[in-house]
């Protein structure tokens, strides 16, 4: 073995049927190995935890269940090295046991059977093993090669034996790592913490992650400000298989995404997909686009919504779908919406808790619908709000200046006569000397004798308080206009 290559602590995922004791096993290992002294009585939840047994490390992914496992695998990241399949000795193989076996075989992951609840009166390990052999899982005592350990997560009986077996399997698998290289890892969870902002829980796959490192994944990037371990301690660096919670990452970290360490922030930023997506938006887009994100329950409804929305367009604004997909709204969608100032429209899907918190914090509006045409109407309504009102100027009168009474700053009191149309307070005016425009501004006030009036009709002789640019002189004209804003709609 090269001097820098070392044995890697195994990363373990616990699978099995509901209520067969996955969480209890994870708790039992924690109770056994993470002493109160270490954690100050509090174990931080960072999605996984690290223990030592006989001087060797093991990392347990702390989110039992197949969904987490599938989410990680769906992104192509192989986080776990070894699986522990929990089978209750009283119930044996159930539906999700079969599902878990399928997952493990597909992932080609070595696994150990933990026959749990051995303390129960009706526990029958042999029956459970027999049932497993019906699923082509042959444990050692049944002529196969899959190791099995009998345990009780409740009493802690056999748990040490399971840990030993995990280490043995790890040794046989020859899991190696190089702590000298810069880190690669996998995001296993994100948490929104009011104090620390978004914390990203990761497991280091290889190398060593250090404070100050710049990391990037498809969904997030940034310079690491702090690293905490599972006992809540702030640490400077973390080696292979070690689970840590990091801060300083921008973007929308996705569970299962792999990350690498980069040389510079620029390099890191480039690898984030949504940043690229945004660049595209800004390249092709202009102020007259209404960017939207759509999430729907099925591909069918998503296509129907997209087709309808693509037909929506006016010269003044275009609705642009910058992202769409099937499934719940996640933090990625919200961050994208925030950065692109987009609207999120969803059809019969939920919003993840983290996405909800970020949306609340960043005031990102998520509009939820059960009926497609209502969603469509809402897109129209919101899009219309973004259409800049058009200003239309209409000439309403003409004023001949007969005297300039006073000039102060950008204001002038002009005496004269309405020779066409009328003048109203607040109207806009342009000063003309013959054909030449000399300035423009507004009518702030109109006086008839000593009295303030709102409007002066044709032939009326009045004093106008003008404010604006340019100087009016005796003999000039004011062209009086009113401006109206016309709001458009999609
Ligand atoms: P999970 O759904 O697989 O995570 O199962 P849990 O760990 O939540 O356990 C389900 C139930 O089984 C709980 O009431 C546990 O207290 C109980 N349980 C778990 N392990 C054991 C065990 O070894 N012995 C006994 N008697 N009960 C157990």
pLDDT digits (tens, 9 = 90+) for 300-345: 788 889 888 887 766 667 888 888 887 888 877 887 888 778 999 9
Is the pLDDT at 457 greater than 70, yes or no? Answer: yes
Compute the distance from residue 21 Cα to the ligand 1 centre, in Å.
Answer: 4
Please tell me the residue having the least CA distance from ligand 1 atom 18: 21
Decide if 302 contacts 294 (C-beta within 8 A): yes
Handedness of CA 379, 381, 382, 387 (dihedral sign): positive
User: What is the rounded distance in angstroms from the CA atom of residue 490 to the CA atom of residue 487?
Assistant: 10
Decide if 203 contacts 59 (C-beta within 8 A): yes
pLDDT-based confidence at 35, cuts 50/70/90? low
Is the pLDDT at 193 greater than 70, yes or no? Answer: no
Q: Which of 211-215, 260-264, 437-441 has the lowest mean pLDDT?
A: 260-264
Report whether residue 90 contacts ligand 1, using a CB cutoff of 6 Å. Answer: no
What is the per-residue pLDDT for 8? 94
Report whether residue 117 contacts ligand 1, using a CB cutoff of 6 Å. Answer: yes
Is the pLDDT at 52 greater than 50, yes or no? Answer: yes
Please write the tens of the pLDDT for every residue from 223-282: 999 999 998 899 999 999 999 999 988 766 777 788 889 888 877 776 665 554 455 444
Is the pLDDT at 93 greater than 60, yes or no? Answer: yes
Decide if 234 contacts 42 (C-beta within 8 A): no
Please tell me the residue having the least CA distance from ligand 1 atom 2: 19
Compute the distance from residue 420 Cα to the ligand 1 centre, in Å.
Answer: 91
Compute the distance from residue 126 Cα to the ligand 1 centre, in Å.
Answer: 20
Compute the distance from residue 220 Cα to the ligand 1 centre, in Å.
Answer: 37
Decide if 90 contacts 117 (C-beta within 8 A): yes
Testing ligand 1's pocket by substitution, the residue of 14, 15, 24, 61 carrying the most ligand atoms inside 8 A of its CB is 24
Average pLDDT over residues 130-157: 94
Q: How many CA atoms lie within 13 A of 406 on its CB side?
A: 9
Report whether residue 152 contacts ligand 1, using a CB cutoff of 6 Å. Answer: yes
User: What is the rounded distance in angstroms from the CA atom of residue 161 to the CA atom of residue 148?
Assistant: 10
Report whether residue 18 contacts ligand 1, using a CB cutoff of 6 Å. Answer: yes
Is the pLDDT at 78 greater than 50, yes or no? Answer: yes
What is the per-residue pLDDT for 71? 57
Is the pLDDT at 36 greater than 80, yes or no? Answer: no
Instruction: Report the atom number in ligand 1 closest to the C-alpha of 20.
Output: 3
Report whether residue 66 contacts ligand 1, using a CB cutoff of 6 Å. Answer: no
Report whether residue 24 contacts ligand 1, using a CB cutoff of 6 Å. Answer: yes
Report whether residue 159 contacts ligand 1, using a CB cutoff of 6 Å. Answer: no
Report whether residue 120 contacts ligand 1, using a CB cutoff of 6 Å. Answer: yes
Looking at the chain, the whole-number percentage of residues with pLDDT higher than 90 is: 54
Please tell me the residue having the least CA distance from ligand 1 atom 19: 21
What is the per-residue pLDDT for 197? 64
153 vs 103, higher pLDDT: 153
What is the per-residue pLDDT for 399? 96
Decide if 472 contacts 414 (C-beta within 8 A): yes
Decide if 450 contacts 426 (C-beta within 8 A): no
Is the pLDDT at 22 greater than 50, yes or no? Answer: yes
The chain-wide mean pLDDT, for the chain, equals 86
Residue of 287, 298, 296 lying closest to 341 (CA atoms): 287
Compute the distance from residue 29 Cα to the ligand 1 centre, in Å.
Answer: 14
Specify the pTM: 0.61
Is the pLDDT at 195 greater than 70, yes or no? Answer: no
What is the per-residue pLDDT for 335? 79
What is the per-residue pLDDT for 487? 76
Please write the tens of the pLDDT for every residue from 381-428: 998 888 877 788 899 999 999 999 988 889 999 999 999 999 999 999
Report H helices in 148-236: 159-173
Testing ligand 1's pocket by substitution, the residue of 19, 116, 158 carrying the most ligand atoms inside 8 A of its CB is 19
Q: How many CA atoms lie within 13 A of 272 on its CB side?
A: 26
What is the per-residue pLDDT for 128? 96
What is the per-residue pLDDT for 226? 95
What is the per-residue pLDDT for 285? 45
Compute the distance from residue 22 Cα to the ligand 1 centre, in Å.
Answer: 7
What is the per-residue pLDDT for 339? 76
User: What is the rounded distance in angstroms from the CA atom of residue 197 to the CA atom of residue 199?
Assistant: 6
Report whether residue 116 contacts ligand 1, using a CB cutoff of 6 Å. Answer: yes
Could you tell me which residues come within 8 angstroms of residue 436 by beta carbon, excluding any fewer than 6 positions away? none
Q: Which of 53-62, 130-139, 250-259, 446-455 has the lowest mean pLDDT?
A: 250-259
Compute the distance from residue 20 Cα to the ligand 1 centre, in Å.
Answer: 6
What is the per-residue pLDDT for 338? 82
Testing ligand 1's pocket by substitution, the residue of 60, 153, 155, 156 carrying the most ligand atoms inside 8 A of its CB is 153
Instruction: Report the atom number in ligand 1 closest to the C-alpha of 116.
Output: 23
Instruction: Report the atom number in ligand 1 closest to the C-alpha of 118.
Output: 23
């Amino acid at each position: 073995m090269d001097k820098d290559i070392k044995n890697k602590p195994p990363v373990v995922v616990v699978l099995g049927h509901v209520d067969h004791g996955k969480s209890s096993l994870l708790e039992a290992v924690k109770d056994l190995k993470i002493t109160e002294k270490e954690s100050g009585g509090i174990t931080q939840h960072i999605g996984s935890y690290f223990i030592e047994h006989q001087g060797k490390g093991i990392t347990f992914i702390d989110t039992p269940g197949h969904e987490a496992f599938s989410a990680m695998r769906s992104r192509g990241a192989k986080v776990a090295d070894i699986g522990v399949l929990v089978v209750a000795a009283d119930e044996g193989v159930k539906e999700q046991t079969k599902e878990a076996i399928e997952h493990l075989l597909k992932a080609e992951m070595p696994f150990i059977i933990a026959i749990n609840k051995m303390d129960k009166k009706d526990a029958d390990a042999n029956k459970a093993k027999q049932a497993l052999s019906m699923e082509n899982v042959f444990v050692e005592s049944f002529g196969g090669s899959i190791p099995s350990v009998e345990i009780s997560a409740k009493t802690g009986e056999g748990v040490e034996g399971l840990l030993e077996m995990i280490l043995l399997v790890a040794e046989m698998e020859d899991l190696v790592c190089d702590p000298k290289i810069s880190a690669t890892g996998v995001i296993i969870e994100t948490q929104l913490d009011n104090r620390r902002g978004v914390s990203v829980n990761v497991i280091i796959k290889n190398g060593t992650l250090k404070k100050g490192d710049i990391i990037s994944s498809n969904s997030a990037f940034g310079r690491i400000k702090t690293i905490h371990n599972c006992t809540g301690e702030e640490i400077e660096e973390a080696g292979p298989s070690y689970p840590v919670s990091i801060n300083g990452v921008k973007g929308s970290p996705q569970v299962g995404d792999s990350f690498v360490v980069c040389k510079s922030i620029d390099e890191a930023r480039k690898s984030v997909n949504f940043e690229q997506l945004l660049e595209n938006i800004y390249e092709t887009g202009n102020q007259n686009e209404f960017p939207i994100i759509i999430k729907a329950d099925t591909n069918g409804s998503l296509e129907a919504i997209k087709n309808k929305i693509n037909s929506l367009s006016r010269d003044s604004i275009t609705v642009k779908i910058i992202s769409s997909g099937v499934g719940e709204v996640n933090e990625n969608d919200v961050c994208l919406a925030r950065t692109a100032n987009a609207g999120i429209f969803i059809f019969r899907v939920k919003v993840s808790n983290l996405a909800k918190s970020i949306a609340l914090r960043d005031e990102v509006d998520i509009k939820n619908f059960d009926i497609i045409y209502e969603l469509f109407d809402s897109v129209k309504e919101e899009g219309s709000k973004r259409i800049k009102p058009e200003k239309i100027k209409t000439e309403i009168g003409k004023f001949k200046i007969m005297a300039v009474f006073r000039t102060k700053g950008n204001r002038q009191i002009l005496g004269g006569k309405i020779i066409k149309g009328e003048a109203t307070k607040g109207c806009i005016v342009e000063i003309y000397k013959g054909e030449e425009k000399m300035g423009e501004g507004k009518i702030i006030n109109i006086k008839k004798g000593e009295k303030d009036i709102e409007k002066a009709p044709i032939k009326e002789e009045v004093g106008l308080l003008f404010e604006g640019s340019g100087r009016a002189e005796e003999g000039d004209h004011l062209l009086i206009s009113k401006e109206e804003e016309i709001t458009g709609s999609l």
